[in-house]
Amino acid sequence: MTISGSDSMASANVVNVDDAQVAYRVHGKGPAVVLVNGTGALDVHWGHVIEVLSSQRTVISLDYSGSGDTVDDGGVLTLEKLARQVVGVAKAGGPERFDLIGYSLGSVIATFVAAEYPKLVRSVVRLTGFLWGGDSGLKLQYDLWLDLIRTNHAHRLNVSPGLCL
């Protein structure tokens, strides 16, 4: 399958990680950078960032379990599981070492990956990350998203590409 963005094209690939067939895409050529999505869990939220970065870098992006083209058993998602998916995709994409750019929840996952797999990660860029998940406002936001996913499954991916979650 070929996925088309603005002016860039990438083939969709799949790698088995734990109980999931994780979909990922590889764009461009050069030193590798892995984009670690926020709660929206789809690389479409990166918009033109993929296109710009892929002019000089190999850009690897993925769909987490429960989103996009990734197929799993519907089990509980944990930080460890999502981190293993990021590492599995990065390794399948070919590079021995890579940089990570994490957005929102992805910044937490990227930090975890860097701490657990230091020999694989060259650098980490964290965008709008959070340090503590116990904040009541953050919990309310995540509970709302979870409720929307459960009650409006057919429309959960109809998010504007310019909106990053």
The structural domains of the chain, with segments of one domain joined by +, span: 2-155
Give the tens place of pLDDT for each residue, 22-63.
999 999 999 999 999 987 767 777 888 899 999 999 999 999
The larger pLDDT score, comparing residue 71 to residue 45, is at 71
Give the tens place of pLDDT for each residue, 73-127.
888 888 899 999 999 999 998 889 999 999 888 898 999 999 999 999 999 998 8
pLDDT at residue 132 in the model: 62
Residue type, 21: Q
The tokens of 61 are what? 């992006």
Please report the beta strands in the chain, taking only residues with DSSP state E, as ranges in sequence order.
2-4, 9-17, 20-27, 32-36, 58-62, 98-103, 121-127
- Predicted confidence (pLDDT) at residue 2 exceeds the cutoff of 70: no
Backbone angles phi, psi at 57, to 5 degrees: -135, 155
Given pLDDT bands bounded at 50, 70 and 90, which one contains residue 158? very low
pLDDT at residue 89 in the model: 95
Q: For 2-155, which CATH superfamily applies?
A: Alpha/Beta hydrolase fold, catalytic domain (3.40.50.1820)
What distance in Å separates the CA atoms of residue 134 and residue 108, rounded to the nearest whole number? 14
pLDDT at residue 25 in the model: 93
What distance in Å separates the CA atoms of residue 88 and residue 86, rounded to the nearest whole number? 6
Give the tens place of pLDDT for each residue, 121-148.
999 998 877 666 666 776 776 677 677 7
pLDDT at residue 142 in the model: 67
pLDDT at residue 38 in the model: 85
Given pLDDT bands bounded at 50, 70 and 90, which one contains residue 150? confident
pLDDT at residue 162 in the model: 42
Residue 33's beta-bridge partner residues?
59, 99
Count CB neighbours of 24 within 10 A.
26
pLDDT at residue 91 in the model: 95
